[in-house]
Amino acid sequence: MPLKALILDLDNTIYPVSAVADDMFHTLYDMIFSSGEFEGNKGEVLDAITRRPFVVVAREFSFSKDLTEQGIQHLQALTYDKPIDPFPDYAIVRDLPYTKFLVTTGFSGLQRNKIDCLGITHDFEEIFIIDPTQTNQIKKDIFELILTKYNYTTDDVVVIGDDLNSEIKAAKDLGIKSIVYDFANAYPSTAEMIAIRNYRELPALVMI
């Protein structure tokens, strides 16, 4: 059955968070490390913030209640208006002849800022921002919504992302094919998990 749609994650799937993290999050970093109210080492926290939503990082590293609340308030008010460059190979995804959806988790204002700075709004049929301070929905819920709203079967779509415990797990739970965008070369491709290093590999996997 011909593929109809791609569902993409945002952070570390369309652009590398590490390229803008120091500029975007320097005040957040100062808040966290000056407080000392967390477990784990600084390097681990810095890496996690570039890869996972703040509320997940706060739980993982046992941020104090006060620090978690301060971080949330800070990120809810944070804006960013500098240009962000997508991965160079993202142009390959943009040109693929499928309907595309963007599903991202984070604070709604900041995620929208990132999307605007990337200039990718018109690449997508619909954009979904899951703000954990406003909803209990997870990506699995949004994937189900897309299937229902657009009358897709699980065979009609492919999910692309970098987080094995978020969009990739959600796709697996629903029986949707998923592809890990592994720009950092962290995961081997296996029979159970397809991982690509560059979007040049994508057309051969989806254009059947």
Q: What is the dihedral of CA 15, 32, 104, 167, to 10 degrees?
A: 90
Measured distance CA(23)–CA(61) in Å, rounded = 22
Instruction: State which H helix or E strand residue 93 sits in.
Output: helix 90-95
Whole-angstrom Cα Rg for the chain:
17
CATH fold label, 5-15+83-206: Rossmann fold (3.40.50)
Strands 99-105, 126-130: pairing is parallel
Compute the average pLDDT of residues 122-148.
Answer: 96
- 195, 179 in Cβ contact below 8 A? yes
What the block records as the tokens of 208 is 């059947």
Per-residue pLDDT of 40-96, as tens digits, reads: 889 999 999 998 889 999 999 999 999 999 999 999 999 998 999 999 999 999 999
Q: Of the candidates 119, 118, 101, which has an alpha carbon nearest to the alpha carbon of residue 161? A: 101
- 195, 168 in Cβ contact below 8 A? no
pTM of the predicted model, to two decimals? Answer: 0.92
Per-residue pLDDT of 134-146, as tens digits, reads: 999 999 999 999 9
Domain ranges of the chain: 5-15+83-206, 21-77
Residue 163 has a pLDDT of 93
Which bin fits 157, alpha (ψ -120 to 50), beta or left (φ > 0)?
A: beta
Per-residue pLDDT of 89-118, as tens digits, reads: 999 999 999 999 999 999 999 999 999 999
